[in-house]
Amino acid sequence: MIFIKKIFILFIFIPVFSFGQNPGMSDKNILIQKGIIYKKEFSLEAKFHTLGFALGYNRETISTYYLTKYYHFDIGYLKSIKEKRNNLVITGITIYNYYSYGKRNYFFPVRMGMGFKKYLSEKEAYHGVAIGYSLEGGMTLGVLKPYFLVVRTKDGENNVFYKTIKYTEENRDLFIDENLIFDRSSFFKGFDQLSMVPGIHVNAAVHYALKAYEKPVYAIETGIMLDAFIKRVPIMVETENFKNKSLFINVYINIQLGNRWN
């Protein structure tokens, strides 16, 4: 996710060059540009971070020109920093899906929280982009779904056959033997075997809102997000040199679209 890191750095430094005063504008003219004061706001968002993504919803109350408070909900996908996928292999007319070696669970954090965003000046509203910051935090319910592999094995008569397995301590050697892994199984297999890991999250971002005081919501955020869980999250098979983590820190870019009303 090097691209996301570059975008994050770019947007973080934009405000440094954006706070000069326009001598041709009076305070009265700036206020005229604001238009109607709306009281409510909602937005849908797509957040892309260094270890995954999230889709979310915000329900907001506009307290003043500068301050908006909101409730937040999102569901996302979070992977391990050690996760990598084998390449797609095509032989003849058979196409083998690539799989993530050593992966034992998909991990989907469901986040619910409260936050606020604050705009820093009126001058940015006149120029079309209001710049501020947002802070949000709350509870997280991490949902684990087993990752299934199709592996080659032999019966008592030395006949080769294929079977679908998930990771257990008993089949560990079979699960991580690259010579025996044939394919990954369907993503939809295992939804009847979910488990949960509770935790908390905190997000801090620089907020850029296009036409911040008008009816449509168009915004971009770049920030840092932290997810902490009560135990190590078993995304990957652990080894002597690698242990799963309970704390995840990522940078992100977030795109928001929505509407305001009274």
The label of the residue with tokens 């977030």 reads: 254
d(CA 133, CA 124): 13
Phi, psi of 2 (to 5 degrees): -60, -35
- 29: its two tokens: 């003219």
pLDDT at position 125: 47
Query: In the chain, at which residue ranges do the beta strands (DSSP E only) sit?
Result: 40-49, 52-62, 67-78, 89-91, 94-96, 105-119, 129-146, 149-154, 160-165, 181-184, 195-210, 216-229, 247-261
d(CA 50, CA 107): 15
pLDDT at position 39: 92
pLDDT at position 17: 44
CATH pick for 2-12+47-146+186-261 out of 1.10.3470, 2.60.40, 1.10.357, 2.40.160: 2.40.160
pLDDT at position 31: 42
d(CA 14, CA 130): 12
Q: What contacts 247, CB < 8 A, 6 or more positions away?
A: 226, 227, 228, 229
Digitized pLDDT (tens) for each residue of the chain, 262 residues in all: 555 555 555 555 455 444 444 444 444 444 444 556 789 999 999 999 999 999 999 999 999 888 999 999 999 999 999 998 776 555 555 555 679 999 999 999 999 999 999 998 664 444 578 899 999 999 999 999 999 999 999 887 788 899 999 999 999 999 999 889 988 999 999 999 999 999 999 999 999 998 777 889 999 999 999 999 999 999 999 999 999 999 999 999 999 999 999 9
Contact 236, 244 (CB under 8 A): yes
d(CA 114, CA 60): 10
Q: Where are the domains of the chain?
A: 2-12+47-146+186-261
d(CA 72, CA 66): 19
